[in-house]
Chains A and B, each alone.
Chain A
C-alpha cells in the first residue's frame, strides 16, 4: 500500500526566507506525486504534480518540487516566502488513473515578519 510521510508538522519561517517542506513516499512503482495547499476552512488547491519526465517540477505561486527516486522524496521549495503563503501543505501519492490518492498528515507553515 502507498503511504506518505511529512516529518514536519509545523514550520515557522521569516518572510523573504527560503522554504523547503519535506515529503517521503512509499510506493512500489513509479508514483504520481502531488502537493496541495489548504488555507483555513478551505478546500485544497493543487500547487504542482509529478507524473513523469523532468524531475524538477514548477508549480503555481512560485513553488517547485523535486522528485528524487533514490531518496523516495518529493520536497517542496520556494526561494522567498510571502506572508500569504501561510497555510497547511499536503503531499500526496497516487497510483495514477482513477486510483485513490493517499495524503500525508500535512505541514502547517507559519510566516513571521
Chain B
C-alpha cells in the first residue's frame, strides 16, 4: 500500500517550453502533497506544499509563477515548470500524505528534467 507514482519519469525539453509533471497516489487519498527538488549529491529541498482544493504554499525563494502547482483531486497533483531554462534541470520528487496518517510522507519515484 501507499504507492505514489510520477509521470513522466524523465523528460527532455527545449528552453522556453513548459513541462508538466504528474504525481498520483495510487491506493490512498492524499489531502496533502509535497514537491521537492533534488540537485546532484544534495538533499531534498522542499519547493511547495499542496493541499487539495486550495492554493499551494511555496517555500521562500521558489517562484510561484514559474512552478505552477495544482492539486485538483485527492489523488493527483501536478507541477508545471513554465518557460523552462537549463538551470531548471533537476530531479523533481513528489510525496503524498494519506488521510488519517498525516505524519508520514510517501514518495514518488521522481522525474528527471533536462532542459536544453
Which A residues have a C-beta under 8 Å from some C-beta of B? Answer: 32, 34, 36, 41-46, 49, 51, 90, 94, 96-98, 100-106
Contacts and interface: CB of A to CB of B under 8 A. Distances in A.
Contacts of A97: 102-103
Given A98-B31, A104-B43, A43 B104 contact: no
Contacts, number: 54
B44 interface: yes
Given A90-B43, A97-B102, 13 more contacts: A41-B112, A43-B4, A43-B93, A43-B107, A44-B44, A46-B105, A49-B103, A49-B104, A51-B103, A98-B31, A100-B46, A103-B44, A105-B42
Nearest to A95: B103
Interface residues of B, number: 25
B109 interface: yes
A96 B108 contact: no
